Amino acid sequence: MSFNWNLIVDNFPLLLQGALVTIQITVMSVGCGFLIGMLAALAGMSRFRIVRLIIKCYVELFRGTPLLVQIFMIYFALPMVIHQQINPYVAAVTACSINSGAYVSEIFRAGIQSIDKGQMEAGRSLGLTWVQTMRYIIMPQAFKAIIPPLGNEFIAMMKDTSLVSVIGFEELTRRGQLIIARTYGSFEIWSAVAVIYLVMTLSISRLVAYLERRYKI
């Protein structure tokens, strides 16, 4: 069997469009997940037991169930409850964001706990409130510590966005499926899709490595 390079060349612009959509979903999902995770991590340190219990249930639920099931729940099951169809893009970003938030929450929690407790005590002894101490002393140090795992989460989410193809959203994987259905060039198209994913993930890895050197982690 000969490798048809022309098939890749002819369809490469379509694959690149899908790759741009994949990047867009990933950035939106990890960005929203970052905010959700940070707030969840801080709420998980609340003095109120009920708040800690809610956050724990959220983290365990979304880390303990497959992202694919979560996508199905939001796109197919939720509309039956609210009696309104959900846009595939909204469903994809929502599911990925909530899922990412659960993992980012644990990353933040570990980063905050890695900071010596004396830092908090020192801040409070200077007259700072708990919020001020977290904002000016703890969080800046924690951010440096969580750069590598956040980079890993970004890479993992970029690959996991391929799951949204099951609801018909045309990111990179779905574009590949549509092209194959038209051309029957499975080997060539999937090879091209794999290379594009590899280039994107390696680029992120290099960026994370640069940030680690920049902040001397």
pLDDT tens for each residue of 115-173: 888 888 888 888 888 888 888 888 888 888 888 899 999 999 999 999 998 888 889 99
pLDDT given at position 181:
92
Please count the structural domains in the chain: 1
Residue that the structure tokens 């290379």 belong to? 195
| Rounded average pLDDT over 76-97 | 93
CA 61, 66, 70, 76 dihedral sign is negative
CA–CA distance, 194 with 21 (Å, rounded to integer)? 16
Match 């902040």 to its residue by tokens: 215
DSSP assigned state of 74: I
Where in the sequence is the domain holding 97, given as residue range(s)?
Answer: 5-214
Give per-residue pLDDT as tens, 172-196: 999 999 999 998 889 999 999 999 9
pLDDT in tens, 36-68: 999 999 999 888 899 999 999 999 999 999 999
Task: Write the CB contacts of 75 (distance below 8 Å, at least 6 apart in sequence).
Answer: 86, 88, 91, 92, 95, 167
pTM: 0.88
Using alpha carbons only, give the angle 11, 18, 74 rounded to the nearest 5 degrees. Answer: 140
